[in-house]
């Protein structure tokens, strides 16, 4: 296991590499370069300057999260071919600088989605929060505006350019079935996996967050059977998973440890996000601290499944709460994610040292 921390780059992240380096037991970062518009080739200059900074700070950068997939690929438009060529070029460039794993998602229109970014907890901290009933009373425009307005920082996967023509993009999905979306997904994977195999990169898909459909748009990566279908699209270790405990775990029907065990044994889990959620009702949850007793997921069992079934995975804490007066990108603070790392590393040490039965 390699413990990492998501970092948005020198300009975009208020958290510095020096901060990250001081978190005990953190080997490197999961790198994001969200300033590069979706669909553009990531240049060697851009990649090398980013990775040099990370390495000079004494940290590794072997994972990128994310290289986002252009909407035309998800929609299966004729222009997808040129976007796939660009995506392959980006992968070749990343591999040349030592990147081994690339996280991405295949969620149409929206990346992760919440109804509140600063939900106040009893102890004065704030967290990300989701209430499906509330969402159903909103239009997609309402939620996009509220989300972008309430954060002083750009949000990963929420590029304003991509959401500019929301009505137009949404309309193109109205008649699309999950199987049609999956066909477009297969086309994308068939286009990129040969390059991944050639350059030694493993693609890992991040599950839909939350783990159900929103606004009637098809979503195809949020259950065990969905994940099995993804694995079956292209049979290669380069077609693997990033198991996000909080995203899959937002739906109590998903057994996260069992998913880690199953796909871990198949050699198809190359990355994991480990975080906790607290169920508040049907399709209603808040993001708790990482501690098992604060949420509804059992972090010990999740870490044990990683330890026993996919111990080479890169992992990171996922979203954290805002605590101790920290101001920053919702979900991506320093303090609570650092606490998460310390706790997860503690669980790992205990699991590792426990006598085997």
Confirm whether 70 is a catalytic residue: no
Q: Which residue is nearest to ligand DNO (CB)?
A: 66
What is the rounded distance in angstroms from the CA atom of residue 24 to the CA atom of residue 19?
11
Task: Write out the binding residues for ligand DNO, residues 1-30 only, by CB under 6 A.
Answer: none
When CB distances are held under 5 to 8 angstroms depending on the partner's kind, the choice from ligand DNO, Mn ion, none that residue 104 binds is ligand DNO
Query: Does residue 273 touch Mn ion according to CB under 5 A?
Result: yes
Confirm whether 319 is a catalytic residue: yes
Size of interface with ligand DNO, in residues (CB under 6 A)? 16
CA 88 to chain centre: 20
Is the Cβ of residue 118 or residue 351 nearer to ligand DNO in the bound state? 118
Residue 261: phi and psi, rounded to 5, are -65, -50
What is the rounded distance in angstroms from the CA atom of residue 158 to the CA atom of residue 161?
9
Which of 70, 273, 307, 309 is an active site residue? 273
What is the rounded distance in angstroms from the CA atom of residue 121 to the CA atom of residue 108?
31
Which of 206, 222, 290, 309 is an active site residue? 206
Read off the tokens for 106: 């295949």
Q: How far is the CB of 350 from ligand DNO (least distance, A)?
A: 26
What is the rounded distance in angstroms from the CA atom of residue 207 to the CA atom of residue 219?
9
Confirm whether 332 is a catalytic residue: yes
Is the Cβ of residue 91 or residue 107 nearer to Mn ion in the bound state? 107
Is the Cβ of residue 65 or residue 131 nearer to ligand DNO in the bound state? 65
Which of 222, 242, 319, 336 is an active site residue? 319
Query: Does residue 316 touch Mn ion according to CB under 5 A?
Result: no
Task: Write out the binding residues for ligand DNO, residues 69-108 only, by CB under 6 A.
Answer: 103-105
Query: Does residue 308 touch ligand DNO according to CB under 6 A?
Result: no
Which of 208, 318, 335, 336 is an active site residue? 318
Confirm whether 318 is a catalytic residue: yes
Query: Does residue 273 touch ligand DNO according to CB under 6 A?
Result: yes
Alpha-helical segments (H) within 79-217:
80-96, 132-136, 140-150, 160-163, 166-173, 178-199
Is the Cβ of residue 6 or residue 80 nearer to Mn ion in the bound state? 6
Contact 301, 257 (CB under 8 A): yes
Query: Does residue 66 touch ligand DNO according to CB under 6 A?
Result: yes
The residue among 292, 271, 304 whose CA lies nearest residue 4 is: 271
Which of 332, 335, 336, 343 is an active site residue? 332
What is the rounded distance in angstroms from the CA atom of residue 290 to the CA atom of residue 298?
10
Read off the tokens for 95: 């591999």
CB neighbours of residue 225 within 10 Å:
7
Give Cβ neighbours of residue 120 (< 8 Å, ≥ 6 apart).
126
Cα radius of gyration (the chain) = 19
Confirm whether 88 is a catalytic residue: no
The helix-helix angle for 256-265 and 224-233 (nearest 10°) equals 20
Is the Cβ of residue 87 or residue 332 nearer to Mn ion in the bound state? 332
Query: Does residue 209 touch ligand DNO according to CB under 6 A?
Result: yes
Q: Which helix (H) or strand (E) holds 139?
A: none
When CB distances are held under 5 to 8 angstroms depending on the partner's kind, the choice from ligand DNO, Mn ion, none that residue 66 binds is ligand DNO
When CB distances are held under 5 to 8 angstroms depending on the partner's kind, the choice from Mn ion, ligand DNO, none that residue 261 binds is none
Contact 246, 130 (CB under 8 A): no
Size of interface with Mn ion, in residues (CB under 5 A)? 3
When CB distances are held under 5 to 8 angstroms depending on the partner's kind, the choice from ligand DNO, Mn ion, none that residue 157 binds is ligand DNO
Contact 332, 6 (CB under 8 A): yes
Catalytic residues: 206, 244, 273, 318-319, 332
Site residues (CB under 6 A) for ligand DNO? 65-66, 103-105, 111-112, 156-157, 206, 209, 244, 246-247, 273, 318
Q: Which residues bind Mn ion (CB under 5 A)?
A: 244, 273, 318
């Amino acid at each position: 296991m390699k413990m990492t921390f998501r970092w948005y780059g020198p300009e975009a992240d208020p958290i510095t590499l020096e901060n990250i380096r001081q978190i005990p037991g953190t080997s490197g970062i999961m790198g994001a370069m969200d300033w590069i518009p979706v669909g553009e080739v990531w240049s060697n200059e851009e990649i090398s300057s980013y990775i040099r900074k990370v390495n000079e700070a004494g940290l590794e950068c072997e994972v990128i999260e994310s290289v986002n997939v252009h909407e035309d690929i998800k929609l299966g438009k004729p222009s997808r071919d040129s976007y796939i060529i660009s995506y392959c070029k980006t992968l070749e460039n990343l591999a040349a600088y030592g990147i081994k794993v690339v996280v991405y998602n295949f969620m149409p229109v929206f990346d992760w989605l919440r109804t509140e970014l600063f939900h106040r907890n009893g102890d004065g901290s704030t967290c990300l929060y989701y209430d499906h009933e509330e969402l159903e009373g909103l239009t997609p425009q309402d939620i996009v505006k509220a989300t972008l307005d309430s954060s002083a920082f750009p949000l990963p996967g929420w590029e304003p350019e991509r959401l500019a023509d929301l009505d137009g993009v949404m309309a193109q999905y109205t008649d699309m079935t999950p199987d049609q979306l999956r066909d477009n997904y297969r086309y994308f994977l068939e286009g990129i996996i040969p390059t991944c195999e050639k350059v030694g990169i493993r693609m890992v898909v991040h599950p839909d967050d939350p783990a159900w459909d929103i606004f009637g748009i098809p979503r195809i990566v949020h259950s065990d059977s969905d994940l099995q279908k993804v694995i079956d699209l292209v049979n290669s270790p380069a077609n693997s998973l990033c198991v996000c405990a909080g995203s899959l775990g937002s739906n109590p029907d998903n057994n996260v440890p069992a998913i880690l065990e199953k796909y871990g044994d198949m050699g198809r889990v190359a990355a994991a996000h480990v975080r906790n959620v607290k169920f508040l009702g049907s399709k209603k949850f808040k993001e708790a601290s990482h501690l098992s007793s604060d949420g509804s997921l059992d972090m010990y069992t999740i870490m044990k499944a990683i330890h026993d079934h996919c111990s080479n995975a890169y992992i990171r804490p996922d979203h954290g709460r805002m605590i101790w007066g920290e101001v920053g990108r919702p979900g991506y603070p320093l303090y609570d994610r650092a606490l998460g790392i310390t706790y997860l590393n503690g669980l790992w040490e205990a699991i590792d040292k426990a006598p085997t039965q």
